[in-house]
Amino acid sequence: MYLSVVCFRFRNSVIVSLHLLYWMIEGMLYVLSSHYQRCVLYFFYCAMNVYSAFCGIPFKSVVFSLHHIANIIFNTTLNVLFSGQKYRLEVGFQAMEHLINVLQTDRSDSEIIGYTLDTLFNIVSNDLEEEEQDDLEEENSQKQVDDLGRQFTEIFIKQQENVTLLLTFLEEFDFQVRWPGVKLLTSLLKQQGPQVQQIILVSPMGVSRLMDLLADSREVIRNDGVLLLQQLTKSNAAIQKIVAFENAFERLLDIVTDEGNSDGGIVVEDCLLLLQNLLKNNNSNQNFFKEGSYIQRMKPWFEVGDDNSGWSAQKVTNLHLMLQLVRVLVSPTNPPGATSSCQKTMFHCGLLQQLCTILMATGVPADILTETINTVSEVIRGCQINQDYFASVNAPSNPPRSAIVVLLMSMVNERQPFVLRCAVLYCFQCFLYKNQKGQGEIVSTLLPSTIDATGNSVSAGQLLCGGLFSTDSLSNWCAAVALAHALQDNATLKEQLLRVQLATSIGNPPVSLLQQCTNILSQGSKVQTRVGLLMLLCTWLSDCPIAVTHFLHNSANIPFLTGQIAENLGEEEQLVQGLCALLLGICIYYNDNSLENCRKEKLKQLIEKRIGKENFIEKLGFISKHELYSRAAQKPQPSFSSPDHMMFDHEFTKLVKELEGIITKAIYKSSEEDKQEEEVKKTLEQHDNIVTHYKKVIREQDQQLEELKQKVNTLKSQNEQLQTAVTQQMSQIQQHKDQYNLLKVQLGKDNQHHTSHSDTLQMNGIQPEEISKLQQEIEELKNKHEVLQGQLREKDSVIENMKSLQSETGTNEQSSQITAGLEHGNELHRELEALRIQIQSQSLDISKLQSEKQELLQQMNTASVPALGDSSAVIAAKNSELEGRLLQEIKELKNDVKALSEEKALLKQHLDSVNSTVAVLQNEKSKLQQEVAESKKEQDDLLVLLADQDQKILALKNKLKELGEPVEDEDDIESGDQGDEDEEEDGEEED
């Protein structure tokens, strides 16, 4: 058919017909030889040539452009899809260059770009078709596939422009282009992650383009975008920071919330994995996550209902990853400040309470419960407020029991899973870490005064003792380590634990806990049990001479230890021998020589005779050389592959590292060196006591100075309050002045009205009685004027007195206060001047009225005008009304003048009180200055004494150095003391 069509189209083109015939014949041959993939290739060549014939395109052009490129693309796709990537190597090497060329030249054709990206993905991807293969064949084929994908990836990214070109295709919204581009870039990152990450990092807006995938409305692209960002953020802190600041936390948490939190599907799992990549070992992102209030959004993840049955596998996985994400934020490997801040935030937002609810819930899967215990452990580790809350949590039982007691019951129960018991031990250790209050509460449950005689409740101490002496070696080890953590760095509790008495059997007297531990050691129990008890004894006796004395008081202990060290036992017993050597070394180093038969010198002689110093040091070195010691020293969490490997505790490894060198030096010291060292220690202790006493005196003086400063501040605040009261009173005076001005204006209007009324009287005729009344009113106004002038003179005298006070006072505080009083006086003076001017104006008005009165009298004498009856009645009414108004206004003016005089008296009294306060302040200031001078003098004396003591201490230290003794610098000691004081202050602030 193809041949007839081509002959019809190209009648004179014999070459094309021959080519088509050749390809068809060769394709049929491949069909006969069962090479179906090659058959498809050649038949497709025929189809392309027929297409070129119908379109009238020259054959050569078709062969070398469209024909060549299109056949490569579709042939590759067919090979990959139909052959299970059997021809992947051949297709990849032949087509890679042409496929990249298509990406560069045909960007406008989205369909061909989509096919090309999909084809490149199939070439680069390492996903094998599921076929029935043996394990060995599958492993070999997987290695070959991995190598092949890595090679094709190297070819693609050899030119960085290819990756940049791929990033531009990801900006296309077309699904046919964007989705295969995301898959291809993800595959490239899987094969050559660091190289591709570096190319994307230097590409302009490279990471920002990829972040836009999370905002795509199509879930397929969004979900694959999450997978892409997972590969992109692996082990690259720079990209992690960029992704975080591109609002990744907000978007990922929104996706988790939309998908249903822990009840969501695999999308939630992918988002949580991406969040772990962004936060793990990245302090900057952790701080950004905390400051962005994203920790508060984690609380709904752990809202588990009452019905915990039927958890799906996906929910278990999601919740497990959520717990791990919380642990990433509070990991002990993080900076202490960042961890503490996250711990406090988790408490205040209720996240810790939610985790404790899961911890005490029923029906929770075992692996989720284990991970929850580990998570709670690290949330409370070293945080006092969280540790106090955890101590108050009770299990929902009847009667209610403490969560600590419930967890310890699981730890000493040999039927519980091993990983769960390890998690409980870790939780108990974290609860006691830097928590002296919690340590005291645990030890107090062992003391005789706090034991419940009724036996209705089980305490934590009873559970630890029960586990310590049970038949299960793992319970022995866990209980011993837990009790050792209750004594860690707490000499007071070590002494109190010596009071614990145990009833071993009926009829026998009770024995101490210390004696019972040594009895179990001598009975030859399992290695794990003996290791746990030896770790407990070493922790108990270290830095506690009283406990060492109690241990040495039992005459059987030293022979047992020397016998264990001197024997030549197998490799399993070497660890026990090393711990026995450590315990014996502690008894020598912390011995206060209170027992004559067990003095330091006698114990060292015993070691030299029965063991030998070199053999003793060699046995002591077995501990740090042990493989399990190195594992335990790596991280605080106890993680062991099997119960038999539980031999060492992380905190105990620190103790061994600290004591090993000290004990070695103590063994090789002579008796004279010991005596000299003891004398030096006593001298140093005396000097330390003196220094401590002086430090205490200085602290007391500092406290007194602080109290005095507080008193001064209180007086200053009172002075400020008085000044504000004066300001308020001045404002009140200003208000009264304003009222006075209003009254003056009203009085001026009344005077004008009176003048106009006098004119009417002149026209209508005025009676002599009315004129006499007006004269009386004028006299009253004169009297009022004289009263106001007297008040003005009084205020002038007050101002003069204040000026004289200013000249008498000398201190800065008094001058400032009197200056303020002078300023107020000046203001009053200005006000009085204004009043004086007003009074003068009023006197001018009065004189005018008098002149007008004289004129009226003259007019009355010269002219007589008949008065009408009706008009005289009206005038009389108006006169009576005017007289009433004038009398009322005069009364109001008198009241105002009286009020002003009272306010003036009050101001004068207040000024007197202020002056007295200033005098009191001056006396107190002089007293304070005298006390400060005395305290400075005392401090100078103390500094002289301390300098003498320092010279003596320096001389003694030089002697010690000459004798070859290690001497700690005072800077280290003071820095340690300061660190302890800072830790105590931080603890008080957290409380």
Whether residue 738 has pLDDT greater than 90: no
d(CA 723, CA 819): 12
Tokens 């990450």 sit at which residue? 197
Note the pLDDT of residue 897: 63
Whether residue 977 has pLDDT greater than 90: no
Whether residue 938 has pLDDT greater than 50: yes
d(CA 333, CA 338): 10
Whether residue 953 has pLDDT greater than 90: no
Note the pLDDT of residue 309: 65
Q: How many residues does the chain have?
A: 991
Last residue of a domain, one of 203, 220, 247: 203
Question: pLDDT exceeding 70 applies to what percent of the chain?
Answer: 66
d(CA 539, CA 652): 8
Residue 702 half-sphere exposure toward CB, CA atoms < 13 A: 6
pLDDT tier at 840, thresholds 50, 70, 90: low
Mean pLDDT along residues 649-670? 89
d(CA 503, CA 513): 10
Note the pLDDT of residue 715: 86
pLDDT tier at 771, thresholds 50, 70, 90: low
d(CA 13, CA 803): 128
Last residue of a domain, one of 618, 650, 669: 669
Residue 360 CB neighbour total at 10 angstroms? 17
Q: Identify the bridge partners of residue 394 per DSSP, sorted by sequence position.
A: 402
Whether residue 724 has pLDDT greater than 80: yes
Tokens 């058959």 sit at which residue? 39
Note the pLDDT of residue 736: 79
pLDDT tier at 898, thresholds 50, 70, 90: confident
Average pLDDT, the chain: 77
Axis crossing angle, helix 219-232 with helix 175-191, rounded to the nearest 10 = 20
Of residues 202 and 790, more confidence is placed in 202
- Read off the pLDDT of residues 347-404 as tens digits, 9 standing for 90 and up: 999 999 999 999 988 888 999 999 999 999 999 999 999 999 999 999 887 778 899 9
Give me the DSSP letters along 582-639.
Answer: HHHHHHHHT--S-SGGG-HHHHHHHHHHHT-HHHHHHHHHHHHHSHHHHHHTT-SS--
Q: Return the C-alpha torsion angle 675, 677, 680, 682, nearest 10.
A: -70
d(CA 278, CA 276): 5
Collapsing DSSP states into helix, strand and coil, what is residue 501? strand
- Read off the pLDDT of residues 71-129 as tens digits, 9 standing for 90 and up: 454 544 444 443 445 567 777 888 788 888 888 888 888 888 988 898 899 888 876 44
pLDDT tier at 878, thresholds 50, 70, 90: low
Question: pLDDT exceeding 90 applies to what percent of the chain?
Answer: 35
Of residues 765 and 548, more confidence is placed in 548
Last residue of a domain, one of 669, 689, 715: 669
Whether residue 829 has pLDDT greater than 90: no
Collapsing DSSP states into helix, strand and coil, what is residue 511? strand
Note the pLDDT of residue 38: 43
Indicate the number of domains in the chain: 2
Range of the domain at 557: 440-448+459-669
Q: Is residue 627 part of a domain?
A: yes
Q: Is residue 646 part of a domain?
A: yes
Min mean pLDDT across 11-25, 295-309, 550-564 is at 11-25
Q: Which residue from 625, 623, 637 is spatially nearest to 586, judged by alpha carbons?
A: 623
Tokens 């301390």 sit at which residue? 946
Whether residue 410 has pLDDT greater than 80: yes
Cis peptide before 399 (omega within 30 of 0): yes
Q: Is residue 520 part of a domain?
A: yes
Axis crossing angle, helix 248-258 with helix 237-245, rounded to the nearest 10 = 70
E strand or H helix at 394: strand 394-395
- Across 94-108, 167-181, 795-809, the highest mean pLDDT is recorded for 167-181
Note the pLDDT of residue 44: 43
Query: Under a CB-based contact definition with an 8 Å cutoff, are residues 823 and 911 in contact?
Result: no
Note the pLDDT of residue 206: 85
Axis crossing angle, helix 527-541 with helix 545-553, rounded to the nearest 10 = 130
Angle at the Cα of 288 from the Cα atoms of 283 and 292, rounded to 5 degrees: 150
Tokens 């960007």 sit at which residue? 107
Q: Is residue 907 part of a domain?
A: no
C-alpha torsion sign, points 610, 614, 616, 619 = negative
- Tokens found for residue 871: 């008009």
Note the pLDDT of residue 926: 77
pLDDT tier at 54, thresholds 50, 70, 90: very low
Q: Is residue 165 part of a domain?
A: yes
Of residues 782 and 534, more confidence is placed in 534
- Read off the pLDDT of residues 611-629 as tens digits, 9 standing for 90 and up: 888 999 999 999 999 889 9
Collapsing DSSP states into helix, strand and coil, what is residue 147? helix
Determine the residue type at 520.
I
Note the pLDDT of residue 82: 37
Whether residue 578 has pLDDT greater than 90: yes
- Read off the pLDDT of residues 276-285 as tens digits, 9 standing for 90 and up: 999 999 999 9
Domain at 85, CATH number: 1.25.10.10
Q: Which residue from 241, 240, 238, 210 is spatially nearest to 226, judged by alpha carbons?
A: 210
Of residues 847 and 174, more confidence is placed in 174
d(CA 937, CA 944): 11
Instruction: Tell me how far apart the 2 most distant CA atoms of the chain are, in Å.
Output: 160
Tokens 């879930």 sit at which residue? 219
Note the pLDDT of residue 928: 74
Note the pLDDT of residue 200: 93
Backbone torsion region of residue 543, taken as left when φ is above 0, otherwise alpha when ψ lies between -120 and 50, otherwise beta: left
Note the pLDDT of residue 36: 41
Note the pLDDT of residue 510: 85
